[in-house]
Structure 1
Amino acid sequence: MSLSDHPRVYGTAALAVAFIAGIFATLGFKDLYPELEARYQGRRKRPRQGSMLFGPVRLEDREESSMSSHDRGHGIVDGIEGTIGNTPLIKIRSLSEATGCTILAKAEFLNGAGGSPKDRVALNMIQVAEQQGLLSPGGGDTIYEGTVGSTGISLAVLARARGYKAHICMPDDMAIEKSDLLHHLGATVERVPVAPITDPGHFVNLARSRAKEHTAASDTPSRGFFADQFESMANYTAHMKTTGPEIYAQTEGRLDAFVAGAGTGGTIAGVTKHLKEERGLASLKVVLADPQGSGLYNKIRHGVMYSSTEREGKRRRQQVDTMVEGIGINRITENFEVGRGLIDDAVKVTDEQACRMARWLVEHDGIFIGSSSAVNCVAAVVTALKMPRGSQVVTILCDSGTRHLSKFWKHIAAMGLEDETQEQDEDLLAVLGIQDLRR
């Protein structure tokens, strides 16, 4: 019987012969063309250009990996703008131990441009103005702003980086080191007498007027741009786009309360809108930290700003009767109004409590902060004591104590707090005059 009589047997034999021939051909091809083999292996090791946005995927421990789009210290960022954002979330050990809750603080003083959360705001306001054609880099335009310090510092840094000038108006009772720093950053600084918002000489109104005068001047083609941090929607959206998502990612969505003060209101509004509306954390407790003399506490707790004679924009006395700088106000800004309905509670913090908290954090945690950060931390402690043990509370460390030496920290020294050596087992609640109702 021949193979031709059995097609199936013939086909099987033919396949076997072809397979063996293929093996020899392949081995011979590699021997004859080793350079092609090397090139082939090299191509396998390199990802195709454009095939992945950030290169090959690498599995990492989530606790060690960064949630941000860039990891400072590992790689190159584009200009000073690249150092803004992606700040650490710090567990404050002494406050956590004292309350039985985990108290975390977003270290905004580590922003690399101006050293505060206002870096985010200043950058976004400038970018939005450029998109709208209100600012043109290199054309001699000047950015005007009314500020108690931090926003002006951030604007002064970014103005120089992007080809603008900065003109800052600020109250004359602010710490002198802030205006000194602004001068060194190349900004024009006007320190003006403290006045109510209804006065044309109020630092915000003056900045607005200066910008209009610049634009209307016939001797220059450049323009004046009034940043308007209190009312500009670029303020709260900066935090809704960056600070809020960072906090959510760093906590993996596990947070029970968010505590922050309000000056312009951009931080608390932007972060809250992201966490409650975009992330759906409906049960999150949002608490306003308010210094003495500010009307926002009563607005949140009782719906009114003091009495009818002291309603928003009508107060004729000093803006806020406190040594705390950066937060506390007696009017409702557009930024604060955006998030006001999402704020659940408010905590009033005295100047003495803020001073004692600032000194406590130096002694027990090595954290050196300014007045607004101290207010936030006191309010975070009060909030934690109202929550179940084990809850996670997030707050903001706004800026370093180095901007508050001549006023806030000078007062701390005058109180004798720097002469006292605090024991590590000292009771924080007793120091602050706070009662823990859970005990």
Structure 2
Amino acid sequence: MTTTDSNIDHKIGNTPLAELSSFSTNSIKFYAKLEFCNPFGSVKDRAAYWMIKDAEKRGILKKAKSAIIEPTSGNTGIALAGIARVLGYKVELVVPEKASEETKAILRKLGATLHETSDDLCPRVGAGTDQSIALAKAIAKPRPDIYYMPNQYENEANFLAHYESTGPEIWNQTRGKVTHFIAGCGTGGTITGTATYLKEQNKDVKIIAVQAQKNHLLQGLRNFEESAMPDLFKRRVGVVDEWITATNKESFDTVEMLSRKEKLLVGPSSGSVMSSMIKVAERLEKGVLVGIFADDGRKFKSLYLQQGVFTEGEYVKALENSKSLSGIEIISPH
């Protein structure tokens, strides 16, 4: 990894907006915002960077003195560990046991110390119910002079990352023609930040929030019937015009379809977003749909093989053929 403190801010964001030509028609256009083109491989690079820089500005985070601790199911942890290593901070992460082995290997390779819990794949965020958040707070509380917990579930910088970058990028890349914005929901930072900006430009842009089914396998997403909505999301949940619940099966089926038709090897949440985009398009006569593809499929080989999304040979071929991987800086678990 060659990213340095002097250029990390120039590497985060400004990700490609790719037309999905196998799905587009003359009247309905499908676009994917390829967030895995961020330096550490996911949409969470934006929030992690904004939260760290905000804490530095406020004097909460100090080099050579502070350590970052955060509960995470994957991408936020990778982003925090990678960016913190560039900026010179130590990182401790509380992760659920069910996070993919590839994800945990990447985190360790980036130098993060891991504390594993028996929590769900995507941690519950209601008061007193999330083991990951509770453990992170228990570690940090006795040493406020050392530990800084960004707390992506409440931190306004998570929202601002997307209000100040993702939203303007999509508006400019579509030349203001975007009609529907579709994003998966976890902390709510991506969807509320992007949506707030887009609606300020055009109040008629429709915002579609994608949540996972109950008892799901879609890392990065949540189901808000079994998990409480994060405070960050609650503050601006009114920007959402429609909710779609994505199932494991349709999400994994769409991951396979995107690999076959578009040569994109994506993560499960991107499959959820794409399957939801297809549902939305089915009832439209015209439109410009933009979906967030939060990460690629390199962290999910074991999950995909286990769930029968790909055979070993099919996964290797998908990896070789995937145009999603060219030029992306990410540390491989192997």
Q: TM-score, normalised by structure 1?
A: 0.66
Aligned mate of 1:224, from 144, 147, 157:
147
Specify the alignment match of 2:294 in structure 1.
Answer: 398
Amino acid at match of 1:367: L
Aligned mate of 2:140, from 206, 211, 229:
211
Q: Does 1:126 align with 2:58?
A: no
Helix, strand or coil for the counterpart of 1:128? helix
Amino acid at match of 1:102: K
Correspondence 1:407-422 to 2 at 5 A: 407-413=303-309
Q: Shift in Å at residue 328 of structure 1? A: 1.2
Helix, strand or coil for the counterpart of 1:214? coil
Q: Shift in Å at residue 205 of structure 1? A: 1.8
For residues 292 and 274 of structure 2, the distance between their equivalents in structure 1, rounded to whole angstroms, comes to 8
For residues 310 and 16 of structure 2, the distance between their equivalents in structure 1, rounded to whole angstroms, comes to 32
C-alpha spacing 1:77/1:154, structure 2 compared with 1 (3 Å): closer
Q: Shift in Å at residue 81 of structure 1? A: 3.2
Correspondence 1:75-114 to 2 at 5 A: 78-97=6-25, 101-112=28-39, 114=40
Amino acid at match of 1:228: N
Specify the alignment match of 2:114 in structure 1.
Answer: 189
Aligned mate of 2:221, from 313, 319, 327:
327
Q: Shift in Å at residue 412 of structure 1? A: 3.0
Unaligned runs of 5+ in 1: 1-75, 216-221, 294-320, 420-439
8 Å contact from structure 2 (residues 267, 294) kept in 1:
yes
Specify the alignment match of 2:324 in structure 1.
Answer: none
Amino acid at match of 1:353: E
Q: Greater relative contact order: 1 or 2 (C-alpha under 8 angstroms, separation 6 or more)?
A: 2
Q: Shift in Å at residue 385 of structure 1? A: 1.3
Q: Does 1:137 align with 2:66?
A: no
Q: Shift in Å at residue 417 of structure 1? A: 12
Amino acid at match of 1:323: L
Q: Which has the larger radius of gyration?
A: 1
Report Cα offsets for 1:169-209 as digits up to 9, x if no partner: 01111111111111110000111101654447611221122
Helix, strand or coil for the counterpart of 1:96? coil
Report Cα offsets for 1:191-233 as digits up to 9, x if no partner: 1101654447611221122122333xxxxxx510011001111
Report Cα offsets for 1:10-41 as digits up to 9, x if no partner: xxxxxxxxxxxxxxxxxxxxxxxxxxxxxxxx
Specify the alignment match of 2:77 in structure 1.
Answer: 152
Specify the alignment match of 2:322 in structure 1.
Answer: none
Amino acid at match of 1:265: G
Identity of aligned residues (%): 31
Q: Shift in Å at residue 78 of structure 1? A: 3.0
Specify the alignment match of 2:193 in structure 1.
Answer: 270
Amino acid at match of 1:174: A
For residues 188 and 255 of structure 1, the distance between their equivalents in structure 2, rounded to whole angstroms, comes to 41
Helix, strand or coil for the counterpart of 1:210? helix
8 Å contact from structure 2 (residues 78, 106) kept in 1:
yes
C-alpha spacing 1:223/1:249, structure 2 compared with 1 (3 Å): same
For residues 5 and 139 of structure 2, the distance between their equivalents in structure 1, rounded to whole angstroms, comes to 34
For residues 127 and 168 of structure 2, the distance between their equivalents in structure 1, rounded to whole angstroms, comes to 37
Specify the alignment match of 1:176 in structure 2.
Answer: 101
Q: Shift in Å at residue 239 of structure 1? A: 0.3
Q: Shift in Å at residue 162 of structure 1? A: 1.3
Specify the alignment match of 1:292 in structure 2.
Answer: 213
Helix, strand or coil for the counterpart of 1:341? helix
Correspondence 1:228-239 to 2 at 5 A: 228-239=151-162
235-244 or 407-416: bigger deviation: 407-416
Correspondence 1:57-76 to 2 at 5 A: none
8 Å contact from structure 1 (residues 359, 417) kept in 2:
no
Specify the alignment match of 1:259 in structure 2.
Answer: 182
Q: Shift in Å at residue 138 of structure 1? A: 2.3
8 Å contact from structure 1 (residues 323, 408) kept in 2:
no
For residues 86 and 142 of structure 2, the distance between their equivalents in structure 1, rounded to whole angstroms, comes to 24
Helix, strand or coil for the counterpart of 1:353? helix
Report Cα offsets for 1:312-333 as digits up to 9, x if no partner: xxxxxxxxx0010001142121
Specify the alignment match of 2:319 in structure 1.
Answer: none
Moved over 2 A (4+): 76-82, 195-201, 412-419
Q: CA RMSD in A?
A: 2.3
C-alpha spacing 1:105/1:266, structure 2 compared with 1 (3 Å): same
8 Å contact from structure 1 (residues 144, 224) kept in 2:
yes
Helix, strand or coil for the counterpart of 2:222? coil
Helix, strand or coil for the counterpart of 2:240? coil
For residues 331 and 417 of structure 1, the distance between their equivalents in structure 2, rounded to whole angstroms, comes to 39
C-alpha spacing 1:413/1:271, structure 2 compared with 1 (3 Å): closer
C-alpha spacing 1:159/1:86, structure 2 compared with 1 (3 Å): same
8 Å contact from structure 2 (residues 256, 310) kept in 1:
no
For residues 212 and 203 of structure 1, the distance between their equivalents in structure 2, rounded to whole angstroms, comes to 14
Specify the alignment match of 1:355 in structure 2.
Answer: 252
Q: Shift in Å at residue 94 of structure 1? A: 1.5
Amino acid at match of 1:101: I
Amino acid at match of 2:6: D
Q: Shift in Å at residue 131 of structure 1? A: 1.0
Report Cα offsets for 1:128-173 as digits up to 9, x if no partner: 111111111122x110100101000000011111111000001111
